[in-house]
Amino acid sequence: MTAEAAVPLRPGSGRTAGLRTAVATVCLSGTLEDKLVAAAAAGFDGVEIFEPDFVASPWSATELRSRCADLGLSIDLYQPFRDFDADDPDVLARNLRRAEHKLDVMEQLGTDLVLVCSSVSPHALDDDDRIAEQLHRLAARAGERGLRVCYEALAWGRFVNTYERSWEIVRRADHASLGLCIDSFHILSRGSDPAGIADIPGEKLFFLQLADAPHMAMDVLQWSRHYRLFPGQGTFDLPAFLGHVLTAGYTGPLSLEVFNDVFRQSDPARAAVDALRSLLALQEETAERLAPEIRSRAGLMELPPPQQLNGHAFVELTVDGGSAGHVERTLAALGFARSGRHRSKPVQLWQQGDSRLLLNATGGPGASIAALGIETADATASARRAEALLAPVLPRARGQVEADLSAVAAPDGTSVFFCTTGSGATGWLTDFVPTGEPAQVGRSIRITHVDHVALAQPFDHFDEAALFYRSVLGLQPQHSSEVAAPFGLVRNRTVSDPAGTVRIGMSVSVLRRGTEWQPAVTDPQHVAFASDDVLAAARAARAAGAPLLDIPDNYYDDLDARLAPPPSLLADLRALGVLYDKSADGEFLHFYTEILGGRVFFEVVQRIGGYAGYGELNAPVRMAAHRRQRAAGSTSAAGAP
Ligand code: MG
Ligand code: MG
């Protein structure tokens, strides 16, 4: 099933036009030329020109204007103009002269809007009337040229650092060419209530800048400069925020202003697609929460709706000559049967219950998870949604009798197939000729389905991947956690459909992995199978020779101290190497195999009651055990690299 290259995407297919979109050049990596090309290719309508990008560019303002026009990009904002208001008439005179120069640049750029941010200067005024009077003078000069000024309260402005105060100043200045710039980061990072934005007259909201951010307790300037994220990637409630802005009557573009250390180094073409996807998903989420009369006048974009999901149809692993035998023996010992062979490709179907693994022998080196098959009520509709969210569509390489499966490429390189397994003669399972081979291990293992799949993410694409899986598949974020692994902190994030039938875990090292001392498993991946009796499954799998991970006694002593499971259960857990967790909602029992083929392992889990987690607390114990296994060399890993 593995498909190779992604076909070029067609921006905009399958979605309505929606609100105009823009991106600040500061969001993207490279030179101004690189940034503009990336923004246009992703499908943005316009850009904010970040002044340092222009100052460093060899283009004149008129050349930049025509370059943007050639690319089909409007210039929606020129920014920033800093430290305008002043307590000293000489400083103010200099600032007005500086502003006249920038108004000249704007005329040549063909943009009518400049952003003035609140002052951090020692000359800053702490007097709303005087700031209003000085901004009025600036707005009058701009207005004479048909230009406009928007005033933004920086979260760390010396005196003006809330939108309530910046709005009061704009209101007092009372000039038609002066309005507000609303920036979600500056408002939400301070914990301000954004509901008051809805009461500001819409015609005074000149510009909207959107950024998300992770929750952090740190200096707000550092937080802003390094950790902003695209909407949907952090913890701010941006659908609610945008709802207030649209309720006020804002009609300008949705513009992204995101300062982020990773995005500033990443391929700008890819970052621009991630950025635009965030605005598409944000419009959908906002529409769901807006009152009908505001929704109908706001003109938010509509996406093909997410389809109901019905579980993991399959997980495809690529294997090579070294890893194939190891993986096959492990699956057999876990009670799987090799039930089918692909009609035209070197792919085997291993099945137990509704849990299906495809072993594709065209891969390597080692073993890797290459594709996820997702059960959806309507595979075509799911693919249309993915395409509308800018997912690269994979070419369909199919033979005469092969099911026509739509697939897209996730940011981590995993192919995501949309399947409807139950649909008889046309379903994808008809690609496989039954082998008639029975399972080698009896029915005691009772694996029923795939519970979750966990994929380590490339460092630079963790946030992008989380937004991708969540928006394309219509999943909800479940939890985020950080665990102290043997070789550094690992960050986890999981997404799931409401019924918990599709669960995807993503993990990343909090810092880049080193290059010399690199003992951790590189980019580990695992498939977790659900069983309704994990203790019986562990017993049978061990008896069948499955390479299960040994868990140290200290873990069970600590478990006894922390959670005090019944003594007989604790004895079974200890004897079988089964891990345990408990929450207010239920219990979780799970065990792991060793690493197979360099990075992949399997897990068998049992959820009791409403337990919705993943035993995250146990992850460091598992990682240390994997490290011990690899350092010692595994007795059962004959044939593995
Ligand atoms: Mg801003
Ligand atoms: Mg797991």
What are the average pLDDT values for consecutive 10-residue runs of the chain, which has 641 residues? 45 66 96 97 97 97 98 97 98 98 98 98 98 98 98 98 98 98 97 97 98 89 90 95 97 95 88 96 96 91 94 96 95 96 94 95 90 94 95 73 78 92 71 91 86 92 94 91 82 93 91 60 91 96 96 98 97 98 97 94 97 94 89 52 34
Cα 22 to ligand 1 centroid, rounded to whole Å: 13
Cα 185 to ligand 1 centroid, rounded to whole Å: 8
Cα 183 to ligand 1 centroid, rounded to whole Å: 5
Q: Report how far residue 454's alpha carbon sits from residue 262's, in angstroms, rounded to the nearest whole number.
A: 23
Nearest ligand, measured from the Cα of 526: 2
Confidence (pLDDT) at 211: 97
Query: Which domains, from first to last, does the chain contain?
Result: 21-298 (3.20.20.150), 309-637 (3.10.180.10)
Question: 383 near 392, Cβ under 8 Å?
Answer: no
Cα 105 to ligand 1 centroid, rounded to whole Å: 20
Torsion, CA 148, CA 153, CA 154, CA 158, rounded to 10:
120
Nearest ligand, measured from the Cα of 605: 2
Cα 50 to ligand 1 centroid, rounded to whole Å: 11
Nearest ligand, measured from the Cα of 454: 2
Q: Report how far residue 260's alpha carbon sits from residue 116's, in angstroms, rounded to the nearest whole number.
A: 22
Cα 59 to ligand 1 centroid, rounded to whole Å: 24
Cα 256 to ligand 1 centroid, rounded to whole Å: 9
The encoded tokens of residue 171 equal 């209101």
Nearest ligand, measured from the Cα of 588: 2
Nearest ligand, measured from the Cα of 211: 1
User: Under the phi-then-psi rule, with left for phi > 0, alpha for psi from -120 to 50, and beta for the rest, what region is 43?
Assistant: left
Cα 114 to ligand 1 centroid, rounded to whole Å: 12
Nearest ligand, measured from the Cα of 591: 2
Q: Strand, helix or coil at 14?
A: coil
The amino acid occupying position 592 is: Y
Cα 334 to ligand 2 centroid, rounded to whole Å: 16
Cα 603 to ligand 2 centroid, rounded to whole Å: 6
Nearest ligand, measured from the Cα of 450: 2
Nearest ligand, measured from the Cα of 590: 2
Nearest ligand, measured from the Cα of 616: 2
Q: Strand, helix or coil at 477?
A: strand
Cα 614 to ligand 1 centroid, rounded to whole Å: 38
Q: Report how far residue 159's alpha carbon sits from residue 152's, in angstroms, rounded to the nearest whole number.
A: 12
Question: 580 near 565, Cβ under 8 Å?
Answer: yes
Cα 546 to ligand 2 centroid, rounded to whole Å: 18
Count of positions (residues) in the chain: 641
CA-based nearest residue to 444, from 373, 318, 538? 538
The 8-class DSSP code of residue 616 comes to G
Cα 429 to ligand 2 centroid, rounded to whole Å: 26
Confidence (pLDDT) at 424: 57
- Enclosing H/E stretch for 569: helix 567-576
Nearest ligand, measured from the Cα of 622: 2
Residue 228 CA: distances (Å) to CA of 184, 197, 280, 634: 10, 21, 18, 44
Output b/e per residue, 440-478; b: 16+ Cβ within 10 A: ebeeebbbebbbbbbbbbeebbbbbbbbbbbbbbbbeeb
The answer, as to whether pTM is greater than 0.85, is yes
Nearest ligand, measured from the Cα of 257: 1
Nearest ligand, measured from the Cα of 153: 1
The encoded tokens of residue 582 equal 């408990």
Cα 382 to ligand 1 centroid, rounded to whole Å: 35
Q: Tally the C-alpha atoms within 13 A of residue 236's C-alpha that lie toward its C-beta.
A: 27
Cα 115 to ligand 1 centroid, rounded to whole Å: 8
Nearest ligand, measured from the Cα of 156: 1
Cα 520 to ligand 2 centroid, rounded to whole Å: 17
CA-based nearest residue to 506, from 445, 452, 550, 456? 456
Q: Residue 548, Cβ neighbours under 10 Å: how many? A: 22
Q: Residue 404, Cβ neighbours under 10 Å: how many? A: 10
Q: Strand, helix or coil at 243?
A: helix
Alpha carbon of residue 222 to chain centroid: 22
Confidence (pLDDT) at 176: 98
Output b/e per residue, 309-334; b: 16+ Cβ within 10 A: bbbbbbbbbbbbebbbebbbbbbbbb
Nearest ligand, measured from the Cα of 593: 2
Count H helices, E strands: the chain?
A: 18, 24
Nearest ligand, measured from the Cα of 504: 2
Cα 252 to ligand 1 centroid, rounded to whole Å: 15
Nearest ligand, measured from the Cα of 182: 1
Cα 173 to ligand 2 centroid, rounded to whole Å: 58
Residue 594 CA: distances (Å) to CA of 452, 550, 551, 591, 623: 18, 9, 11, 10, 10
Which single residue is written with the structure tokens 């294997």?
319
Question: 123 near 86, Cβ under 8 Å?
Answer: yes
